[in-house]
Each structure stands twice: as structure tokens, then as C-alpha cells.
């Protein structure tokens, strides 16, 4: 196999300290594949790392390549690789559960106690991400996509779609149900798509931004309304299920007010560390309040939905910008009035 020249990586050394640095991809092992980046979506956690040097409790402690939503094109394969071939497009699952801990054995691999999730500073040394022009992956993380009409940008949306699918799975049976989604960014819109796929009778999205509201309607919301200081009276007690995807205390309050007695609220957005919580209301109205963290087995389903365009994620892709202009891409992604999903591409 011919060795390729060093490529660029988007590396964070701390808050607002983004550098473009050369990085040589390792030689693929027998079951490994060298990939050229197809598209890599900038996620909310990537923006926290860029702006603050941390995402929640996870702080950057060494030079760190973010990026966990990606597609690629196979450049080279190891001697024992059988799943993919050179030139093929692939979706990349960023999750590396250990498969041995109690949670993995119980079928909840997303809660793995020794998780290695690409593009996360949760562990040290950090699990370096995929905002690199080339990188090496184990073939088990790759799902080939052969449909010529499905773009690398769409394929890179499999990871956030899997998050939406997992949130809806945590919500329980949605067939014929009324669903409220707060927040119409990428994850909120993925939750709208997932609720539609699950057979929801009506889906309403709440977001303060007109652009986000329009996108929510485009991907399947029956209505998209402006989020305000108070929930509209017509939505009080209306929803069977509410999905909080904004990561906002006000949005959580709206979900709790909107859901019917005995209903369910799914928390998928990342809230601030300290949030007032009306526990007595949850008790008196016997609400279910549950969390949804990343995804657990939904990745391949997300790829299938994208391959067949049962999930059309194209409206969410705002721009594709070369890694050489990574700072510009991050700044655009920070501006929700102009962008939803900004992707980095090789070149």
C-alpha cells in the first residue's frame, strides 16, 4: 500500500485556540481502514470546546481534534478488511463501548463505563476526533453506502439522527401520539424526523428563531411556534410526550407544562449544571421524566433511513467548508441566525 502525504487536522489547544496542524495517518492494521474525510458536522459540543475549552465537565487537557459526526471515503484497507473497499463511501460510528462492563452486558452500551467516544475530552488521553483530512478507523465502525445519489454530507448526519432515534425510543410508543419538541436545531429537527418515523399523529416544535421554525416545518413538524416566556395556552396539557432538545431551563419548563397528566418528558438537550426543577409537579401529575444520552444501537438504522431518504436531512446542511478554513466554519456554526449544520470537508 502506498503511503500518502501528511494531511491537515483541526486542533484545539484551548478556548478559541484553534490551529491547523499537519497530521500523518497511521498505517492501517489488518482490520483497519484509512479514510479521507467526506464531511464532518460541527456539533454543539464541538462549539463548546471551541468557545470555552470544555464541554460541560470535560475540559481540553492536551491538543485535541474534535469531530464525531462524519462520513468518509475509503483510501486504503488493511490486509484482513472485508467490510469495505477502496473508493467506497462510509458512515462512521464514533462510539467505542468496551463490551465488557455491566452496562454493556445489560444492553446499554451508550452508558459504558469505559466508553471511548471519538471527539470527546471525557477521558485522558483524549479520544481524538475526525476533523482531519485523513484518519484510520477499525472496519467495525464503518457502514458502507453505495447509493450514488446520497451525498457524503447526508451520510455524516447519521450520528445526530441516531441521537434523535434514541430519544424517540426512550419516549416509548409514539404511534398516534401528540409530540412536542423544544429546540429546532439539528438535534431537535432530528427528533422531529424520528417522531414522524415512529408514527406520531402530530408534532409541534418550539424555537425562538424564525429560521429554525421554518426548518422544523420542512423536516416534518405540523406546526413550529415561537418559544416565548410563557407556553401558549393551547399547548398546556396537550402533549402525550415532550422532548427537550434545546438544553434550556425555559424549554424544560415548557415541556413540563405542555405534557398531559401521566405523560412523559425526554431530556436530550444538555442543561446548565444547576436548574430549578418542579419535582412536586412531576409527582402530583405522575409524569415520567427520563434522560436520553447519545444513541444505543440506532446508528445503522439512521444510516438506512438516510440511504433511502425516508429521513431527508438535506435541509439541515447549511454549508460545507474546507478544513483549511476551519475557524470560519466554527464562527458560522456559532451563529444560529445563519446556520443549522455546518460541515468541514477535506481540501
Residue 320 lies in a domain: yes
pLDDT > 90? residue 128: yes
Residue 304 lies in a domain: no
Kindly give the interhelix angle for 326-334 and 44-52, rounded to the nearest 10 degrees: 110
Q: Are residues 336 and 215 in the same domain?
A: no
Give the pLDDT of residue 239: 98
What does pTM read for this prediction? 0.95
pLDDT in tens, 139-197: 999 999 999 999 999 999 999 999 999 999 999 999 999 999 999 999 999 999 999 99
Q: Are residues 207 and 231 in the same domain?
A: yes
Residue 334 lies in a domain: yes
Residue 111 lies in a domain: yes
The C-alpha atoms of residue 51 and residue 18 are separated, in whole angstroms, by 10
Kindly give the interhelix angle for 186-197 and 210-218, rounded to the nearest 10 degrees: 30
Give the pLDDT of residue 5: 60
Q: Are residues 87 and 12 in the same domain?
A: yes
Residue 307 lies in a domain: no
**Residue numbers of the domain that contains 246:** 164-291
Q: Are residues 255 and 326 in the same domain?
A: no
Give the pLDDT of residue 3: 46
pLDDT in tens, 46-76: 999 999 999 988 999 999 999 999 999 999 9
Kindly give the interhelix angle for 158-171 and 186-197, rounded to the nearest 10 degrees: 60
Q: What is the mean pLDDT of the chain?
A: 95
Q: Are residues 122 and 232 in the same domain?
A: no
Q: Are residues 143 and 247 in the same domain?
A: no
Q: Are residues 27 and 147 in the same domain?
A: yes
* pLDDT tier at 4, thresholds 50, 70, 90: low
Q: Are residues 265 and 178 in the same domain?
A: yes
Q: Using H for helix, E for strand and C for coil, what is the string for 68-106?
A: CEEEEEEEEECCCCCCCCCCCEEEECCEECCCCCHHHHC
Residue 299 lies in a domain: no
Q: Are residues 150 and 189 in the same domain?
A: no
pLDDT > 70? residue 106: yes
* 186 or 271: which leads in pLDDT: 186
Residue 296 lies in a domain: no
Give the pLDDT of residue 26: 82
Give the pLDDT of residue 1: 41
Q: How many domains does the chain have?
A: 2
Residue 1 lies in a domain: no
Amino acid at each position: 500500500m502506498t503511503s500518502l502525504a501528511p494531511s491537515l487536522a483541526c486542533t484545539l489547544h484551548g478556548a478559541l485556540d484553534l490551529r491547523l496542524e499537519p497530521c500523518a495517518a497511521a498505517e492501517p492494521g489488518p482490520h483497519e481502514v484509512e479514510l479521507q474525510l467526506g464531511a464532518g458536522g460541527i456539533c454543539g459540543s464541538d462549539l463548546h470546546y471551541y468557545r470555552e475549552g470544555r464541554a460541560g465537565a470535560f475540559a481540553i487537557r492536551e491538543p485535541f481534534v474534535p469531530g464525531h459526526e462524519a462520513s468518509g471515503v475509503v483510501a486504503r484497507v488493511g490486509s484482513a478488511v472485508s467490510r469495505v473497499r477502496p473508493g467506497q463511501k462510509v458512515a462512521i460510528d464514533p462510539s467505542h463501548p468496551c463490551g465488557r462492563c455491566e452496562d454493556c452486558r445489560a444492553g446499554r452500551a451508550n452508558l459504558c463505563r469505559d466508553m471511548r467516544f471519538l471527539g470527546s475530552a471525557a477521558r485522558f488521553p483524549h479520544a481524538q476526533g475526525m476533523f482531519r483530512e485523513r484518519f484510520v478507523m477499525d472496519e467495525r465502525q464503518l457502514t458502507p453506502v453505495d447509493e450514488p445519489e446520497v451525498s457524503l454530507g447526508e451520510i455524516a448526519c447519521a450520528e445526530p439522527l441516531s441521537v434523535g432515534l434514541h430519544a424517540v425510543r426512550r419516549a416509548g410508543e409514539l404511534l398516534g401520539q401528540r409530540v412536542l419538541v423544544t429546540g429546532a436545531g439539528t438535534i431537535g429537527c432530528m427528533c422531529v424526523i424520528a417522531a414522524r418515523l415512529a408514527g406520531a399523529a402530530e408534532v409541534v416544535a418550539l424555537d425562538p428563531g424564525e429560521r429554525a421554525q421554518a426548518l422544523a416545518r420542512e423536516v416534518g413538524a405540523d406546526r413550529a411556534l415561537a418559544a416565548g416566556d410563557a407556553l401558549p395556552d393551547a399547548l398546556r396539557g396537550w402533549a402525550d410526550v415532550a422532548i427537550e432538545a434545546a438544553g434550556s431551563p425555559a424549554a424544560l419548563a415548557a415541556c413540563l407544562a405542555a405534557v398531559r397528566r401521566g405523560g412523559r418528558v425526554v431530556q436530550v438537550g444538555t442543561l446548565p449544571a444547576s436548574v430549578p426543577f418542579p419535582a412536586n409537579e412531576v409527582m402530583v401529575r405522575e409524569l415520567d421524566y427520563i434522560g436520553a444520552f447519545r444513541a444505543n444501537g440506532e446508528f445503522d438504522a439512521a444510516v438506512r433511513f438516510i440511504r433511502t431518504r425516508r429521513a431527508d436531512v438535506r435541509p439541515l446542511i447549511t454549508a460545507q467548508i474546507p478544513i483549511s478554513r476551519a475557524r470560519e466554519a466554527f464562527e458560522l456554526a456559532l451563529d444560529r441566525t445563519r446556520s443549522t449544520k455546518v460541515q468541514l470537508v477535506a481540501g
